[in-house]
Chains A and B, each alone.
Chain A
Amino acid sequence: KAGVTQTPRYLIKTRGQQVTLSCSPISGHRSVSWYQQTPGQGLQFLFEYFSETQRNKGNFPGRFSGRQFSNSRSEMNVSTLELGDSALYLCASSRGRPGAQETQYFGPGTRLLVL
C-alpha cells in the first residue's frame, strides 16, 4: 500500500506570495493532519480534516488555511508569506475520525523556503 505523498517536495517563494501544498493520504485513510516543523519550535499542529471538514485547528494565523476533497486528498494554503513561514510542512493521515486517537502516518514533507 502506498504511503502518504506530498507535493511538491521543495519550494522557494518570496515574501508576500502565496503557496499551496498538496497531500494524498494512504488509501482508505480519511483523516489528514498538517504540521509545521521548524528547528526552534519542533512539530506544531496546524489543522485536521475529516470528511471534507476541518475538525481541529492549531494556533496559527488565518493566513494558514486548508481543505479536503471528497477523495480525502488535502491541500493547505499559506497567503502573504513571511520569512518565518520557512519550514518543513508535514502531512499525516489516519484511518478514522478525529477523536479516535489513531496512529498517524507521515508523508515526506514539503520544504518551504521564503526569501
Chain B
Amino acid sequence: GQQLNQSPQSMFIQEGEDVSMNCTSSSIFNTWLWYKQDPGEGPVLLIALYKAGELTSNGRLTAQFGITRKDSFLNISASIPSDVGIYFCAGYLRNSGNTPLVFGKGTRLSVIA
C-alpha cells in the first residue's frame, strides 16, 4: 500500500534545542496531519494542513505543507521535557476517492533535561 517516509525514526535532543522532522512520499497529498502520541495513549492532533505551501503554527510547533504536495515538515522550537513522545504524520492522497488516511511510521523524540 501507499507509504509515507517519515524521518528521522528517532532523535535525542537537549532541552531547549529546536527539532525538525519530515514526511515525504512519491504521491501527491491533499491534506497533511501531524499527531503526537504519548505512551499508552491515542494520537492527539497537533496541526492540520490543507493547502500547498501552507505554514501553520500551534504554540512552539510549526508545520508546513510542501509546495510539491509530496512532503510536509514539523518543527518544534525550544523543546521541553513534555515534548517527549512519538510524532506521526498522516495524509489523504489526492484523487484517492475513499482511500483512508495514510500514516508514517513515526518519529520518537527523547528530550534530555
Contact = CB atoms under 8 A, between A and B. Distances in A.
Interface of A: 4, 6, 33, 42-43, 45, 48, 55-56, 58-59, 88, 90, 92, 98-99, 101, 103-109, 111
Interface residues of B, number: 25
Interface of B: 1, 30-31, 33, 35, 40-45, 48, 88, 90, 92, 96-101, 103-106
A105 B45 contact: yes
B31 A101 contact: yes
A106 B103 CA distance: 13
Contacts of B40: 88, 109, 111
B42 A99 contact: no
Q: Which of A6, A55, A101, A111 has the most chain B CB atoms closer than 10 A to its own CB? A: A101
B42 A48 contact: no
10 contacts: A42-B103, A42-B105, A48-B100, A56-B98, A90-B42, A98-B100, A105-B45, A106-B42, A107-B42, A111-B40
A48 B101 CA distance: 11
